Chain A
Amino acid sequence: MLLLALDTATPAVTVALHDGARVVAESTTVDARRHTELLIPAVLDALAEAGADRRDVTEIAVGVGPGPFTGLRVGLAAATTWGAALDLPVRGVCSLDVIAYEVVRSGSAGAQPFAVATDARRREVYWATYDAAGQRTDGPHVGPPLTPDEHVGTMLAALPAAGAGARLYPAAFAQVVEPEYPSAAVLATAVAASAVEIVEPQPLYLRRPDVTVTTGRKSVLGSASTGSASTGSAQSGRRQR
Chain B
Amino acid sequence: MSVADDPLILGIETSCDETGVGLVRGTTLLANAVASSVDEHARFGGVVPEVASRAHLQAITPTLRRALDEAGVRLTDVDAVAVTAGPGLAGALMVGVSAAKALAVAIDKPLYGVNHLVGHVAAEQLENGRLTEPVVALLVSGGHTEILEVTDIATAAELLGQTLDDAAGEAFDKVARLLDLPYPGGPHIQRAAATGDPTAIRFPRGLTSQRDMERHRYNFSFSGLKTAVARWVESAQRDGAPVPVDDVAAAFQESVADVLTRKAVLACQERGITTMVLAGGVAANARIRDLTRERCAAAGIALRQPRLSLCTDNGAMIAALGAAVVERGLPPSSIDFGADSSLPVTEVLVR
Instruction: Decide yes or no whether B102 CB sits under 8 A from chain A.
Output: yes
Knowing A69-B91, A85-B75, A218-B167 are in contact, say whether A78-B50 is a contact too (CB < 8 A).
Answer: no
Instruction: Decide yes or no whether B3 CB sits under 8 A from chain A.
Output: no
Instruction: Decide yes or no whether B60 CB sits under 8 A from chain A.
Output: yes
B204 nearest CB across to chain A (Å): 18
- Using CB atoms, name the residue of chain A closest to B93: A36
Residues of chain B contacted by A85 (CB below 8 angstroms): 64, 75, 102-103, 106-107
B124 nearest CB across to chain A (Å): 19
A58 nearest CB across to chain B (Å): 12
Number of interface residues of A (CB under 8 A): 55
Contact indicator B144/A218 (Cβ below 8 Å): yes
Stretch from B41-49, B299-307, B323-331 contacting the other chain: B41-49
For residues 195 through 241 of chain A, which have their beta carbon under 8 Å from a beta carbon of chain B? 203, 205, 209-215, 217-229, 232-235, 239
- Interface 1/0 per residue, B93-111 and A, CB below 8 Å: 0111111111101111000
Contact indicator A44/B89 (Cβ below 8 Å): no
Q: How far is the CA of A68 from the CA of B144 in the complex (A)?
A: 28
Knowing A74-B94, A225-B341, A227-B91 are in contact, say whether A215-B16 is a contact too (CB < 8 A).
Answer: no
Residues of chain A contacted by B61 (CB below 8 angstroms): 80-81, 84
Knowing A70-B91, A85-B103 are in contact, say whether A224-B50 is a contact too (CB < 8 A).
Answer: no
Knowing A218-B88, A218-B144 are in contact, say whether A37-B117 is a contact too (CB < 8 A).
Answer: no
Contact indicator A81/B146 (Cβ below 8 Å): no
A27 nearest CB across to chain B (Å): 14
Knowing A78-B101, A84-B61, A210-B50 are in contact, say whether A239-B44 is a contact too (CB < 8 A).
Answer: no
Contact indicator B50/A234 (Cβ below 8 Å): yes
Instruction: Decide yes or no whether B243 CB sits under 8 A from chain A.
Output: no
Contact size range, B: 35 or more
Contact indicator B97/A36 (Cβ below 8 Å): yes
Residues of chain B contacted by A226 (CB below 8 angstroms): 341
The 8 closest A-B pairs by CB, nearest first: A217-B143, A209-B50, A213-B46, A78-B102, A81-B99, A218-B143, A77-B98, A84-B61
Q: List 19 A-B contacts (CB under 8 A).
A: A44-B105, A54-B105, A54-B106, A70-B91, A73-B57, A73-B98, A77-B95, A82-B102, A85-B106, A203-B54, A212-B49, A213-B44, A213-B45, A213-B48, A214-B89, A215-B46, A220-B159, A234-B48, A235-B341
Chain B residues in contact with chain A, CB under 8 A?
Answer: 15-16, 41, 44-51, 53-54, 56-57, 60-61, 64-65, 75, 87-91, 94-103, 105-108, 116-117, 141-144, 146, 159, 162, 165-167, 170, 223, 335-339, 341-345
